[in-house]
Structure 1
Amino acid sequence: MASVGFADCAVLPKSFPAGLTDKLLCAIMYLLNQYNWYKGVEPVEIIISGNSSKPIYAQITEQLKAQIMDGTLHAGESLPSMRSLAKSLHVSVITVQRAYEELQRDGFLETTVGRGSFVADQNPEIYREEQQRKAEEHLLAAAEIARVSGISLESLVQALTIFYREEE
């Protein structure tokens, strides 16, 4: 999310009433973004879905993990404070705290009291495990489709073997 100007109030939810309130909130969001930019904290792009069956903390965790894995967030990069992120997402600080704690436990974040949370140096083993977990999710989906469609295990293994060897 880039810094917003006063003319660009896209940071506000569409449900806010028009008028002075939304202009004031937009000004506050603008100042918060400017402060974060000054402090060297890049805003993170997180989209919370109210229709998802996943808890909000899990949505935050997954999206931050994905941004770390794909290089959008780099090792040593500062993340917004829990309070700041909670405010920008309109969620509880406890929700963000739970997401950060899970990311820290999994080795994706380092948190220091008084300094904040930072993207941890990437451990190649953690990266490999995360990629394997993603592959297993896709394989599970493929297995379920094959089972329902009457595709044999042998055909599925043969297709996977062909796809795997295509890259070699």
Structure 2
Amino acid sequence: MDIILLNSSDLPIYQQIKHQIIEQILKGQLLEGEQLPSIRKLAQELKISVITTKRAYEELEREGYIDSVLGKGSFVSLSDKQMLRQRQLETVRKQLKEIVQDSKKYDITLQQLILHITQLYGED
């Protein structure tokens, strides 16, 4: 499992960890049932606080991406990836709805909005 933390990121470290694990699960780089490093081991590898990795794992579990078994560790959830992907798409759709409403409020045309989204999408 590869996790790269950026001190220059606006996201807190636990969210960077969480987002990268989700990405690896959805891309099939982490397989269903695969064991994740322990909270303590991941904290040591990343040279961060155990509390930070614990928070990332807790959120991943709450959102259905991993399952934790007391005394055994944390594993990639066997739940439906399509359902998880649908949940993510719904979150993005809500954010886009707000952006569209703001764009209309500020007289930004659909073409201008599409141009900005296209530019931002190409930056990654």
TM-score grouping bracket, smaller chain normalisation: 0.7 to 0.9
Moved over 4 A (4+): 140-144, 155-159
- Give the secondary structure class of the aligned counterpart of 1:46: coil
Report the equivalent of 1:108.
65
Alpha-carbon spacing, 1:81–1:158, altered in 2? closer, same or farther (3 Å): closer
Report the equivalent of 1:80.
37
Deviation at residue 52 of structure 1 after TM alignment: 1.1
Unaligned runs of 5+ in 2: 116-124
* Mapped partners of 1:157, 1:52: distance in 2: 25
- Give the secondary structure class of the aligned counterpart of 1:59: helix
Report the equivalent of 1:6.
none
Does 2:86 align with 1:118? no
Deviation at residue 130 of structure 1 after TM alignment: 1.1
Report the equivalent of 1:69.
26
Indicate the structure (1 or 2) with the bigger Cα radius of gyration. Answer: 1
Bigger relative CO (Cα 8 Å, ≥ 6 apart) = 2
Letter in 2 for 1:128: Q
Alpha-carbon spacing, 1:115–1:158, altered in 2? closer, same or farther (3 Å): closer
* Mapped partners of 1:54, 1:157: distance in 2: 25
Residue 48 (structure 2) aligned to one of 72, 91, 102? 91
Letter in 2 for 1:84: K
* Mapped partners of 1:85, 1:112: distance in 2: 17
* Mapped partners of 2:11, 2:35: distance in 1: 26
Does 2:88 align with 1:127? no
Q: What RMSD, in angstroms, separates the aligned Cα atoms of the two structures?
A: 3.1
Report the equivalent of 1:49.
6
Letter in 1 for 2:84: I
Alpha-carbon spacing, 1:81–1:141, altered in 2? closer, same or farther (3 Å): same
User: What is the TM-score when the length of structure 1 is the normalising length?
Assistant: 0.57
Alpha-carbon spacing, 1:99–1:150, altered in 2? closer, same or farther (3 Å): same
- Give the secondary structure class of the aligned counterpart of 1:110: strand
* Mapped partners of 2:90, 2:70: distance in 1: 33
Letter in 2 for 1:55: P
Letter in 2 for 1:81: S
User: What is the TM-score when the length of structure 2 is the normalising length?
Assistant: 0.75
Q: What is the number of residues matched between the two proteins? A: 114
